[in-house]
Amino acid sequence: MRDTGDYLFTSESVSEGHPDKVADRISDTVLDAFLEADPQSRVACETLVTTNRIVLAGEVRGPASVTRDLLIERTREAVRDIGYDQEGFSWRHADVSYYLHAQSADIAVGVDAAGNKDEGAGDQGIMFGYATRETDSLMPAPIHYSHAILRRLAEIRHAANGSSGLQPDAKSQVTLRYVNGKPVGVTSVVLSTQHDEATSQERIREILAPVLTEVLPDGWEVPADELYVNPTGKFVIGGPDGDCGLTGRKIIVDTYGGAAPHGGGAFSGKDPTKVDRSAAYACRYLAKNVVAAGLADRCTLQISYAIGVSKPLSVYVDLHGTGHDVDETKLERVLRELVNLSPRGIREHLRLNRPIYAQTAAYGHFGRTPDPATDSFTWEKTDLVDDLRGAFAR
């Protein structure tokens, strides 16, 4: 996104019942089952979902207590929790195929700590983090509001226990107008939501209207002719029965809605030795703390790794010209001093070796509120603010 000028920018979100998100949820449920049994488990689980069929595949290393039957049971529970008990996709009747096998010994040798060798990165790659003052969550406004609309509709659907007419599959898209690089209003909203055969489009609009009023800032009314609700006119067949879903296909929805770079790696189903996930969380954590500390209004941070190597190959910070008398080169050094950015260091600092991942699978991995009860979303904490201000004499 441009730092100055007037323009329109759009981001989309998808609900927990979108086929790809169903796959993400199942993959993270498998991960949580292993971490619950052994925090040092290794998991790379991919899931495919289609009409009454679920396929689990990938590589794992963990205790024998995490059995095939247990994971199939947890898979069905995840689908039930989302809300699928339809003819074409049901938690009760879907066939679950199991193709998880042992992790490659070659990868294990490179990743595991041994002797004087620290734990190495699970793969090579580049990871990005981003934060901006556009919203209280320090997330880009378009993806923030896209998530919020779908999250609120899901709450309505679950609370109604089947009487709302809404079904699990849904997508939203929000376009905002920016003036001099800052969001000032909404120009259009697109919502496609699966519904019962008997539920009219007018009824869906009635449900949506108060949600938009609740979610969007005061004065940000959607023009009547720019509110597109189920533009095809009908959305009864949905979810995995309407479209095949795969783990890791919604990486822009999972992150910043296209407002910031993405390294290309997906998150769900991967244990935190995989830097695709853990280092992306660390990048968000650092970028958010930089902005929360008042050092800049926007921050993009990149880290890179090589498989089997513990230290990051590079740390790069871009404040997009919004820094407040902050030298970016010094900031890069300070951030490396504050947090050990090795895979082990990140896991320990953010306490990632816990069964906390199923809840991340929908409505974004970032911009979420840390829950003190479960100590989840630790990468959203701003506990480095005082240290950062001290390092720059603020």
Check whether 274 is labelled as a binding-site residue: yes
Check whether 276 is labelled as a binding-site residue: no
Boundary (domain end) residue, out of 238, 259, 276: 238
For strand 7-14 and strand 166-179, is the pairing parallel, antiparallel, or unpaired?
Answer: antiparallel
Does 106 have pLDDT greater than 80?
A: no
Check whether 270 is labelled as a binding-site residue: yes
165 Cβ partners below 8 Å, 6+ apart? 195, 196, 198, 199, 203, 204, 207
Domain assignment present for residue 46? The answer is yes
**pLDDT tens per residue, range 54-83:** 999 999 999 999 999 999 999 999 999 999
**Domain match, 191 and 323 both:** no
- Residue 325 DSSP label: S
Please give the residue that has the higher pLDDT: either 109 or 46: 46
Check whether 21 is labelled as a binding-site residue: no
Identity of residue 188 = S
**Domain match, 363 and 283 both:** yes
**Domain match, 267 and 224 both:** no
Residues paired with 298 in a beta bridge: 132
Q: How many CB atoms lie within 10 A of CB 391?
A: 19
Q: What range does the domain containing 37 cover?
A: 19-111
Cα→Cα distances 311→105, 119, 333, 342, Å: 22, 9, 14, 5
**pLDDT tens per residue, range 13-35:** 999 999 999 999 999 999 999 99
**Domain match, 86 and 184 both:** no
To 5 degrees, how large is the angle CA 314–CA 316–CA 321? Answer: 170
Check whether 182 is labelled as a binding-site residue: no
Check whether 170 is labelled as a binding-site residue: yes
**pLDDT tens per residue, range 159-172:** 999 899 999 999 99
Domain assignment present for residue 118? The answer is no
Check whether 235 is labelled as a binding-site residue: yes
**pLDDT tens per residue, range 320-367:** 999 999 999 999 999 999 999 999 999 999 999 999 999 999 999 999
Check whether 37 is labelled as a binding-site residue: no
Number of domains, the chain: 3
What is the C-alpha to C-alpha distance for residues 23 and 31, in angstroms, rounded to an integer? Answer: 12
Check whether 95 is labelled as a binding-site residue: no
pLDDT at 107: 61
Check whether 298 is labelled as a binding-site residue: no
For strand 166-179 and strand 53-61, is the pairing parallel, antiparallel, or unpaired?
Answer: unpaired
**Domain match, 201 and 255 both:** no
Question: Could you tell me the CATH number of the domain that includes residue 302?
Answer: 3.30.300.10
Check whether 154 is labelled as a binding-site residue: no
What is the C-alpha to C-alpha distance for residues 178 and 181, in angstroms, rounded to an integer? Answer: 5
**Domain match, 182 and 268 both:** no
Check whether 250 is labelled as a binding-site residue: yes
Per-position b or e across 51-74, b if 16+ CB within 10 A of its CB: bbebbbbbbbbbeeebeeeebeeb
**Domain match, 254 and 342 both:** yes
Whole-structure pTM value: 0.95
Check whether 249 is labelled as a binding-site residue: yes
What is the C-alpha to C-alpha distance for residues 323 and 318, in angstroms, rounded to an integer? Answer: 9
pLDDT at 52: 98
End-to-end CA distance of the chain: 28
Does 119 have pLDDT greater than 90?
A: no
